[in-house]
Amino acid sequence: MALVLSEEQVMLRDSAAGFLAEKATVAHLRELRDGGSERGFDESVWREMAEMGWAGIAISEAFGGLGYGYTGLGLILEQAGRNLSVRPLQSSVLVAATVIAELGGDGQKVQWLPARAAGEKLVTLALQEGPHHAPAQVDTTAEAAGDDWVLSGCKVLVLDAHVADSFIVIARSDGQAGDTAGLSAFLVDAGTPGVSVERRSLVDSRNAGVISLESVRVPAASLLGPAGDAWSGLSRALDIANIGLAAELLGLSAEAFERTVGYLKERKQFGRVIGSFQGLQHRAAELFAELELARSIVLQALQAIDDGQEDLSLIASAAKAKLCEVAQLATNEGIQMHGGIGMTDEHEIGFFIKRARVAQHTFGDYNYHLDRFAQLSGF
């Protein structure tokens, strides 16, 4: 496997870098936060992204997408990480569309994926129920009622919940919490009676929500795939989501590193630029080496998705664990080397550590994926 980008992929990366550096920067994030944006993102910019095909970049051409693969999406997510771009790329494009593609039948894909590929409808995954990522710990129930299903339960940390048109709700139709068997996935319209959403603002100035389901009745057609058989497709979708988050963390870490090195070349102390001090040079060199390792594992993981590798779960957890570690180091060092100004809201470097911490914990943190990698490796 050659860990190099094709000419088309380089063009896509550069195009995304230029667009996001102009339309979706850290300054724009600050404006959205300080202005108390009701939606949490700029819809006009999101429409431009959709017109460029980003919303459907990883969706098959047969279902209205570009069919460019997850390597292409990962390159966009990396640039989004560099700019801390706030858009439904993660919730609707990376996660939800992937879940539909993995679990839905051909008829359901034809019905639901084209609107997602066009960026017209926002959908998000409603999975987590506790304070930490534990995908099999599902207490939300799904009970058959004639030709319908009745869903009851509560979901937390649902990304972009308050702006979603629909939710992919993971519920238990059989078994007990902790069982991988017996899980089912349902596409639920946000306006369905019994569905309520409470918006929550996260530390990174992005939005999530708590969804309550009180005897929500949905038709049998809303069930994605066979009842009780969602685990395999859901697990693969979560692997893909974590690789996408790793790509975002790579961009975020690289930008934090470059900004920090730039500061080291400008800031003077004791009559010298602080970048001339050997102790800081060694720390910067170590971080540079870690970033290069991280870049390789992210590209390998993205290519593994597109190549259909069987050991995707192992690669996904390796990538997420490594990028959690690197992002922690890059953002911590960024704050440390900037000194006191790095702790102020006035300076942008603080935005990177906040986004890093949220992305690190989304769909499993460093410890979760390190443990999972060990278990998958036979330890």
Q: 3-state secondary structure string, 54-109?
A: HHHCCCCHHHCCCCCHHHHHHHHHHHHHHHCCCCCHHHHHHHHHHHHHHHCCHHHH
Residue 42, CB-side half-sphere exposure with 13 Å CA sphere: 17
Verify that 23 and 50 share a domain, yes or no: yes
Q: How many domains does the chain have?
A: 3
Q: Report the range of poorest mean pLDDT among 17-26, 231-240, 263-272.
A: 263-272
Residue where a domain terminates, one of 180, 198, 228: 228
CA dihedral 61, 63, 66, 69 (to 10 degrees): -90
Domain hosting residue 131, numbered range? 124-228
Taking only the tens place, the pLDDT of each residue in 79-128 is: 999 999 988 999 999 999 999 999 999 999 999 999 999 998 899 999 99
pLDDT score for 133? 96
pLDDT score for 49? 95
Q: Is residue 2 part of a domain?
A: no
What proportions of the chain, in percent to the nearest 5, are helix, strand and coil? 55, 15, 25
If you ran DSSP here, which 8-state letter would residue 255 be given? Answer: H
Q: Is residue 202 part of a domain?
A: yes
In angstroms, the first-to-last Cα distance of the chain is 27
Verify that 247 and 303 share a domain, yes or no: yes
Verify that 19 and 50 share a domain, yes or no: yes
Strands 141-145 and 148-159: antiparallel
Verify that 255 and 366 share a domain, yes or no: yes
Verify that 250 and 371 share a domain, yes or no: yes
Q: Is residue 209 part of a domain?
A: yes
Q: d(Cα 301, Cα 309) in Å, to the nearest integer?
A: 9
Q: d(Cα 194, Cα 192) in Å, to the nearest integer?
A: 6
Verify that 110 and 157 share a domain, yes or no: no
**What DSSP string runs through 142-167?**
EEEETTEEEEEEEEEEEETGGG-SEE
Residue where a domain terminates, one of 122, 156, 188: 122
Residue 50 gets the label, from left (phi > 0), alpha (psi -120 to 50) or beta, of alpha
User: Cα-atom radius of gyration of the chain, to the nearest Å?
Assistant: 21
pLDDT score for 155? 98
pLDDT band at 1 (very low <50, low <70, confident <90, very high): low
Per the DSSP assignment, residues forming a β-bridge with 142 are 151
Q: Is residue 288 part of a domain?
A: yes
Verify that 72 and 184 share a domain, yes or no: no
Burial of 109 by CB count in 10 Å (0-12 exposed, 13-18 middle, 19+ buried)? buried
Is residue 341 predicted with pLDDT exceeding 90? no
Is residue 33 predicted with pLDDT exceeding 70? yes
Question: Which among 251, 331, 333, 259 has a CA at the least distance from the CA of 298?
Answer: 251
Question: Which among 165, 172, 166 has a CA at the least distance from the CA of 142?
Answer: 172
Q: Is residue 96 part of a domain?
A: yes
Q: Is residue 313 part of a domain?
A: yes
Residue where a domain terminates, one of 179, 194, 228: 228
If you ran DSSP here, which 8-state letter would residue 226 be given? Answer: S
CATH number at residue 211: 2.40.110.10
Q: Let me know: does 163 contact 39? Beta carbons within 8 Å.
A: yes
Other beta carbons less than 10 A from residue 50's beta carbon:
19
For residue 306, the SS3 value is helix
Q: Is residue 325 part of a domain?
A: yes
Verify that 263 and 364 share a domain, yes or no: yes
Q: What is the mean pLDDT of residues 198-224?
A: 95
Residues 6+ apart with CB under 8 A from 18: none
CATH number at residue 37: 1.10.540.10
Collect contacts of 274-281 with beta carbons under 8 A, ≥24 apart. Answer: 274/337, 280/337
Verify that 238 and 179 share a domain, yes or no: no
Q: What is the mean pLDDT of residues 296-307?
A: 97
Verify that 297 and 350 share a domain, yes or no: yes
Q: Is residue 144 part of a domain?
A: yes
Verify that 13 and 68 share a domain, yes or no: yes
Question: Which CA distances in Å does 137 have to 149, 183, 247, 349, 368?
Answer: 20, 10, 27, 36, 14
pLDDT band at 275 (very low <50, low <70, confident <90, very high): confident
Taking only the tens place, the pLDDT of each residue in 259-271 is: 999 999 988 888 8
Verify that 111 and 76 share a domain, yes or no: yes
